[in-house]
Amino acid sequence: MSHVTCIELIAFLDSYVDDELDAETRHSFDLHLLVCPSCRAYLATYRETIELVRGTAEQEEELAHDSPAELIEAMKRVKR
Ligand SMILES: [Zn+2]
């Protein structure tokens, strides 16, 4: 697989981003991204979306960690 198409790249993009590809395939993807602005743009958007989803999941975990009672106590302490 020395030349990948846009369709192939997009089909394996999650594996590429997660670093699950073998070195040769990854290299082919890197080469394609060098010459294909539309795939670079797609990859950038894809990464942004992942960051966004991961960020949201972390925020939800933090909220779940703080029980409402603890939150109320913390607010009372701030007021004093
Ligand atoms: Zn492409």
Which has more pLDDT, 1 or 17? 17
Q: Report CA(52)–ligand 1 centroid distance (Å).
A: 24
Query: What is the residue-averaged pLDDT of the chain?
Result: 87
Residue 78's pLDDT is: 79
pLDDT at 34 over 90: yes
User: Hey, how many other C-beta atoms are within 10 angstroms of the C-beta on 29?
Assistant: 21
Residue 66's pLDDT is: 65
Q: What global pTM score does this model have?
A: 0.65
- Give per-residue pLDDT as tens, 42-62: 999 999 998 998 888 888 777
Q: Report CA(72)–ligand 1 centroid distance (Å).
A: 52
35: CB partners within 8 A, 6+ apart: none
Q: Report CA(55)–ligand 1 centroid distance (Å).
A: 28
